[in-house]
Amino acid sequence: MAKSLNIPIPLVIVAGARPNFMKVAPLMDVLSRDPDFAPILVHTGQHYDHNMSGQFFQDLGLPEAHYYLEAGSGSHAQQTAEVMKRIEPVLLEQNPAAILVVGDVNSTMAGALVAAKLGIKVIHIEAGLRSFDRTMPEEINRIVTDSVSDLFLVTEESGRVNLLREGIAPERIHFTGNLMIDSLRRNLEQALQSDIRGRLGIGHGRFGLVTMHRPANVDNDRQFAEILEALSVISSHIPLYWPMHPRILARTGKGAIPLSGQIHIVEPLGYFDFLCLQANSAMVLTDSGGIQEETTVLGVPCLTLRDNTERPATIEYGTNRLAGTRKETILEAWNQSLAHPRKGQIPPLWDGKATLRCHAALRKFLLCQSTVELQTQ
């Protein structure tokens, strides 16, 4: 490593939702041990429930956030506005060399916009992913964040291709791999020691895992009903366990959703408990981007309850299939997965070393120095 500077460079790292925590945990670890950086963790409070936030910090070994903004829930506009209002004083006080934002949640876009207007460099981890579906709030967040970013760290080849197509200079793009997979590889052995199967009474039989949170799926009554009908059919073959997002519980009320008796609703789970269930599942049905990635690395069949994905590597290399959102298409994908199971491969650079490549890219960008040879294509 190059000789330490006299004064560490302040770098604000923004996290707001549980996928963010998994991505920033390994990076916070390495930056905290680099004397040239002073990482400042800002928790926006977009996810604030203990199982959605506090338990994840504990499981991942994340330090207590330097700032907790308590932005809370609300509409997309309300939540984004709250994060913007609350993060501006933090950035003015800290005057960081750069702000690092991850993923595609409202906190990501809000932090990037405020920083850009203050003249602070914006670094986007998981840059360039595109579903090409602007009805998805996450797609808007991705596009806006990338439009004001200065450094782009991409997880898969599609991200690099999309950014080049959008006119981003090649030297600003670095193919670093996937920080979420670093967390998975680092924590899988411990997660597999979880007793969650016993606590849920699953036993040693086959089971499936369900997650849903996207507004297009859960707020559209007709679409939601189609998905539930398909899940009911699938649950006649294997029991399904569904850690239900608080927003869905709040909208419907516990017990208000008519479900098959083989669909078991459980509270949101911590990182270790969920990873243990995911690794042992016969099938995962989800609309989450991160879970498409994790199941690919775990070799677990995944049906994505969407018509598109911003993570094509999970289909090209992995175990993921697009199942759509209608009963007919979901059951067709289910039957195909049984008749023609996919072995899957690990996508390039999803090797558990993304943290090192991200660290090297940050040093190159902010210090014009490098700790390891940066791998690019």
d(CA 84, CA 109): 9
Q: Is 103 left (phi over 0), alpha (psi -120 to 50) or beta?
A: left
CB 49 within 8 A of CB 207: no
The one-letter amino acid at 179:
L
Q: Tell me the C-alpha distance between 84 and 14, whole Å.
A: 12
- Please name the amino acid found at residue 320: N
> H-helix or E-strand containing 224?
helix 221-234
Contact criterion met (CB below 8 Å) for 350 and 178: yes
The first and second tokens of residue 247, run together, are 């927003």
Question: Which residue is catalytic, options 50, 66, 213, 237?
Answer: 213
Q: Which one-letter amino acid corresponds to residue 57?
A: F
Q: Distance between CA 363 and CA 31 in Å, rounded?
A: 10
AA identity, residue 246: P
Report d(CA 74, CA 88) in Å as an integer.
Answer: 19
Please, what is the angle between helix 18-32 and helix 289-298, to 10°? 70
Cα–Cα distances (Å) from 135 to 140, 159, 217, 307, in that order, read: 8, 20, 12, 12
How far, in Å, CA of 64 to CA of 204, rounded?
37
> How close are the terminal C-alpha atoms of the chain, in Å?
24
Order of strands across the sheet that contains 283-286 = 263-266, 240-243, 208-211, 283-286, 302-304, 320-322
Tokens standing for 211?
């997650």
Neighbour-count burial for 218-231, b at 16+ CB within 10 Å, e otherwise: beeeeebebbbbbb
Neighbours of 135 (CB within 10 A): 9
213 an active-site residue?
A: yes
The Cα–Cα gap between 107 and 73 comes to 11
Return the active site residues. 213
